[in-house]
Amino acid sequence: GNSVTQMEGPVTLSEEAFLTINCTYTATGYPSLFWYVQYPGEGLQLLLKATKADDKGSNKGFEATYRKETTSFHLEKGSVQVSDSAVYFCALSDSGGGADGLTFGKGTHLIIQP
């Protein structure tokens, strides 16, 4: 079956530090890959996505590149802010049309200190 493995936190960084959150996956076929973010007390919001190998998703200064050869989709940001504190989920969808939903990693709690 499908699975997503991501580093578990909490990850604590100082403001303006470089961020990497690792994500690797196992899937049949050719999945689409996503990063979702959950701010305290809220639902999940799509942060970025990539639908095929070598695609780079980007949004709000975050980037992730779909690496088929290493089955990875690591999230990076060059300079984090306190407002980036949240839980980040890596996820995949491998079905045609996404009918049977997303497979999530366990989430990484990111804490940015001023």
Partner 1 sequence: NAGVTQTPKFRVLKTGQSMTLLCAQDMNHEYMYWYRQDPGMGLRLIHYSVGEGTTAKGEVPDGYNVSRLKKQNFLLGLESAAPSQTSVYFCASTRQGFTEAFFGQGTRLTVV
Separation between Cα atoms, residue 107 and residue 6, nearest integer Å: 7
> Closest separation between CB of residue 14 and partner 1, Å?
26
> Closest separation between CB of residue 3 and partner 1, Å?
11
> Closest separation between CB of residue 96 and partner 1, Å?
9
Question: Residue 8 or residue 16: which is nearer to partner 1 going by CB?
Answer: 8
Beta strands in 1-114 (DSSP E): 3-6, 11-14, 19-21, 23-26, 32-38, 44-50, 56-59, 62-65, 75-77, 86-93, 103-104, 108-113
Summarize as ranges the residues that interact with partner 1 (CB under 8 A): 4, 8, 32, 36, 42-46, 49, 89, 93, 97-102, 104-107
Question: Residue 32 or residue 64: which is nearer to partner 1 going by CB?
Answer: 32
Phi then psi dihedrals of residue 64, to 5 deg? -155, 140
Question: Residue 65 or residue 95: which is nearer to partner 1 going by CB?
Answer: 95
> Closest separation between CB of residue 114 and partner 1, Å?
26
Question: Residue 17 or residue 53: which is nearer to partner 1 going by CB?
Answer: 53
